[in-house]
Copies of this chain bind each other. A is one copy, B any other.
Amino acid sequence: MSDTGVTVKKAENFSDWYVEVIMKAGFADYAPVKGCMIIREDAYAVWEKIQSAFDARIKSTGHRNVYFPLFIPESLLKKEAEHFAGFTPEVAWISQGGDTELEEKVAVRPTSETIMYATFAKWIRSWRDLPVKINQWCNIVRWETKSTRLFLRTREFLWQEGHTAHATQEQAEEEVLYALSEYRNIMENYLAIPVIPGKKSDSEKFAGALYTTTLEAMMPDGKALQMGTSHNLGQNFAKVFDVKYIGEDKQDHLVWQTSWGISTRLLGAMVMVHGDDKGLVIPPKVAPTQVVIVPILFKSAEVEAIIAKAKEIAETLKAKGFTVILDDRQEYTPGWKFNQWELKGVPVRVEIGPRDLKQGQVVMVRRDTGQKNPVKEADIPAAAEMLLDEIQKNLFAKAKAFMQQNTYTVQTYDEFKRVLCEKGGFLKASWCGSSDCEAKIKEETGATIRVLPFDKEETKSGCVHCGEPAKDIVYFARSY
């Protein structure tokens, strides 16, 4: 059992539990290269579901996929000074190809603004060429020096990066919010993770952006996880890379740009938020397998009939569009299989034994609650659909309730420190808008401003740190 079951309790040692669940479920693995990971079959399948849902949405609004090189010459990466300063501490550099030392070292992309926009300058001539709306699914390298963590912080990860250029500032603003809304759809409606949408403070924004919008989620240890960001780049990069167009007015104009990304970090969030002491719990809409059928075989006389019925049910469910595994392996016991599929987080289990066969029914078991229900054979597809739908909703509702229960409004700095220390979670507090206060709070408590929510509340007190008139009520938290 200790070889396959989860031995650490989520509530007791969250961090060890996280690693154990991922490793034992075969969801990911450490790689034989430091700071990197292997995204295994089930995790990659969840990523593919995210990809296909998001990709279809952005394609329907005119975005198209492309692929730009992994390598960026140093001279290009340096062009936007703030951007370079932000990324250079963690850039991996190629200095040798075969036996030859390179003349100019090249960076392994930490993000693709510079190489893309150097090219936009060539592609964009007139207003007829706008907007440019492209996206790429690729790997990204950031040579982390902090300790790494599966999915959340690794030296290489997978992401999509959307990059757009527009004729007007308004169009760029609209695009920033559009991308954020599509991200929110994936996070809330697919991954069942509630998020707080809003802006980043200046000190937390993307290096080179005018401003950054974000979606922040709460992990079960009360820490915040930045789930995805969408940046308004203004004309910062357009100036540096000379991305201009001739308008209908025959004049030269700089374009307005946006960029936005979500990454395989989302898989880590999904594990953290929904997993339990039995293993992963995967939301039905992104589950690689939605239903597992486990025939319960005692006497050899009935084995054939039960397997035949199980196959029939599997085919019926597959034909209705469900993803199904029939686990008819004879070398494992039903109990072992139950544990195994619970560990892997399959949302619905269908058990069929000799008595079920006789009564023309099966037993359906929910992964999220463990609830068991007998279901008549004819009702299986409808019951599966209903259960999957309920599980999807329940996971979201539970996560949302948890976030709400662990979000505290605090008035004074003493209260801020006390609540952060005793309870953790999100602290809603008034803030004067000064980077100084923000920096001091971070230094003194470890909490940063996660988000200036779009959903504004009226400030009733002064800045939680300095007492000066407050501009916003913002979310503070410790974060990943």
Contact = CB atoms under 8 A, between A and B. Distances in A.
Residue among A69, A71, A106, A155 with max Cβ neighbours from chain B (10 Å): A69
Contacts of A38: 66-69, 119
Interface residues of A, number: 57
A19 to B, nearest CB: 16
Secondary structure at the A interface, as helix, strand, loop or mixed, is: mixed
A134 B31 CA distance: 16
Contacts of A122: 29
Interface stretch (A135-143, A299-307, A373-381, A426-434): A135-143
Contacts of A152: none
Contact of A94 (B41, B93, B331): B93
A77 to B, nearest CB: 11
Number of copies: 2
A64 B37 contact: no
A40 B69 contact: no
Interface in A38-69: 38-41, 44-45, 47-48, 64-69
A66 B37 contact: no
A452 interface: no
A340 to B, nearest CB: 12
Residue among A32, A47, A158 with max Cβ neighbours from chain B (10 Å): A32
Given A95-B96, A108-B94, A134-B41, A70 B119 contact: no
Interface stretch (A97-105, A231-239, A454-462): A97-105
A145 interface: yes
A89 interface: yes
Interface of A: 29, 31-33, 36-41, 44-45, 47-48, 64-73, 76, 88-100, 105-106, 108, 115, 118-119, 122-123, 128, 134, 138-139, 141, 143, 145, 155-156, 158, 331
Nearest 8 A/B pairs, CB to CB: A97-B143, A36-B69, A39-B67, A41-B64, A93-B96, A31-B69, A33-B71, A89-B98
